């Protein structure tokens, strides 16, 4: 099986960073969105990103952030990627990518086939695409809701840029999601938590092992 790259998002403590660093995860995600239970202040995130080892890509997740917030984040800490999880237009994505010189991953919510056109549109301007479940109307959070979508919608599809599967993934279903969709990258947040915003080290380890096929099968 080709290498599967795993992103653990919503880290909030030095213990979280150490747990992720001890696995084969490729990305660590840090959330800057006050409505989220995973939100970090800039000083908090700086401490965590500085503790992350070289080789673990550090991703800042923002939601419709203005330049002032992005400037403050990028200036304060070492980052490898920006993740845009709001209603950013293709023009805004291109602007952010040019302004900061960092790779940009754009999250796209998917509920039905009509949502797939946006994946191609944003592939023209982003470096990566995060294919996530579309949040319910009036949801407080644009992601990290533990919801999945019909994986058959993206099964075996190809886009112009690398893409990452998200939405409702857990240690129990990630291997099947990879098998069905042929995703080479997966993202998880709530699926490795013991409660909202609290990461579970055992679940993180189990998720990475299941995704990378580096452990025994996980039984329901």
Q: Tell me the per-residue pLDDT of 42-95, one tens digit each, with 9 for 90 and over.
A: 999 999 999 999 999 999 999 999 999 999 999 999 999 999 999 999 999 999
pTM for this model (two decimals): 0.91
CATH number of 5-212: 3.20.20.70
Question: pLDDT by residue (tens digit) across 92-107?
Answer: 999 999 999 999 999 9
| Domain limits, the chain | 5-212
The Cα–Cα gap between 142 and 130 comes to 12
What's the whole-number average pLDDT of the chain?
A: 92
Residues identified as active-site: 9, 132
């Amino acid at each position: 099986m080709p290498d599967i790259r795993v992103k653990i998002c919503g880290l909030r403590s030095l213990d979280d960073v150490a747990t992720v660093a001890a696995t084969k995860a490729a990305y660590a995600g840090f959330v800057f969105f006050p409505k989220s239970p995973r939100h970090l202040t800039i000083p908090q995130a700086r401490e965590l990103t500085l503790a992350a080892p070289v080789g673990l890509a550090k991703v800042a997740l923002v939601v419709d952030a203005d330049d002032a917030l992005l400037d403050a984040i990028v200036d304060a800490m070492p980052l490898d990627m920006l993740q845009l999880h709001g209603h950013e237009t293709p023009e805004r994505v291109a602007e952010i990518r040019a302004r900061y010189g960092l790779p940009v991953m754009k999250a796209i919510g998917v509920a039905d086939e009509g949502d797939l056109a946006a994946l191609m549109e944003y592939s023209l301007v982003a470096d990566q695409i995060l294919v996530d479940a579309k949040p319910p109307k009036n949801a407080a959070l644009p992601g990290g809701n533990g919801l999945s979508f019909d994986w058959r919608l993206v099964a075996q599809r190809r886009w112009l840029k690398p893409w990452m599967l998200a939405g409702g993934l857990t240690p129990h279903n990630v291997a099947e999601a990879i098998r069905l969709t042929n995703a080479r990258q997966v993202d998880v947040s709530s699926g490795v938590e013991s409660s909202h915003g609290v990461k579970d080290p055992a679940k993180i380890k189990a998720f990475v092992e299941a995704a990378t096929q580096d452990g025994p099968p996980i039984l329901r």
